[in-house]
A = this chain, B = another copy of it.
């Protein structure tokens, strides 16, 4: 690609050629995956394990939209990869490989690319996933990272949004609201918060922890599941809409980190921010009431906390009803339920 850019890019002096960059920094990330052909052919080949099918997901993160321009390249790389792995995990898929599209503005130098590749290498080791292809282009715009992740899942067993049944319990992995409150802290909204809590929340914003180890174990246990990225309330509504059910959750049962709890105790208005803020990358799932003992075992086995936060019930036939009972037992109202992309927040 890039005929038009011959002159644009010809004047570029901050980076080696794309071929050199690929050979030096990206090809090594493909070496353990034979079908990637060392990134030296036109396509990558992948075969699913017997009895499995492939699960595909793509997500793009953009400077100034999804991360601040001062974010270290290692963290940009890892976030770009992890937000995709989170979707795979929520569907019960085991990650295998990914493709990478990288848009690099003129300000990017070779040290940045080296840091970016080092971040990918760390996460490849952590999640057993491999770079198998990609494209790198200069841009007159801003830095952007698009990842297309490939996982595999037993045939016809993937966790869908639409399988919940009336009476199922709602469960949530990890904690909610850390990223949203980390963003608030980064904007200087939380000057009273102790430095350790501030650092914890900002780290959670910058480096999601997708539930990759847990996800595949939910197959056969969960009836429906969704990745929580737009905000807990919004994603619960997505699940209920597809499952044609209503839901009631209790705010006090929603798991919070000690840091998030400290913020909300100091100013209860932040509870709504936590419940609707997004960027959590936890798994929200439903399971029958009698699955509770197995879920408790699974949490221990995968070293991931799993909290019961509510129940789903038959829908009304109209738009999905999602009720959040506040600390006093009364239904909470939100100025917005979560991130709605171009529409933004109504607040």
* A residues at B contact (CB < 8 Å): 1-12, 15-21, 35, 37, 40-48, 53-68, 83, 87-88, 90-91, 93, 99-101, 103, 105, 132-142, 144, 146, 148, 150-151, 153, 155, 158, 160-162, 179-180, 183, 205, 226-227, 229, 242, 277-279, 339-345
Q: Which residue, A5, A15, A68, has most C-beta atoms of chain B within 10 A?
A: A5
Q: Would A139 and B65 count as touching, CB distance under 8 A?
A: yes
Closest residue on chain B to residue A44 by CB atoms: B56
Partner of A91, one of B43, B103, B339, B345: B43
| Copies of this polypeptide in the complex | 2
Q: Judging by beta carbons under 8 Å apart, are B53 and A46 in contact?
A: yes
Q: List 21 A-B contacts (CB under 8 A).
A: A2-B278, A2-B341, A4-B67, A5-B344, A7-B345, A12-B343, A15-B342, A18-B341, A18-B343, A41-B161, A42-B87, A42-B227, A43-B56, A44-B55, A56-B132, A57-B133, A58-B99, A58-B100, A59-B135, A66-B137, A105-B141
B12, B133, B146, B344: which contacts A9 (Cβ < 8 A)? B344
Least CB separation from A151: chain B residue:
B43
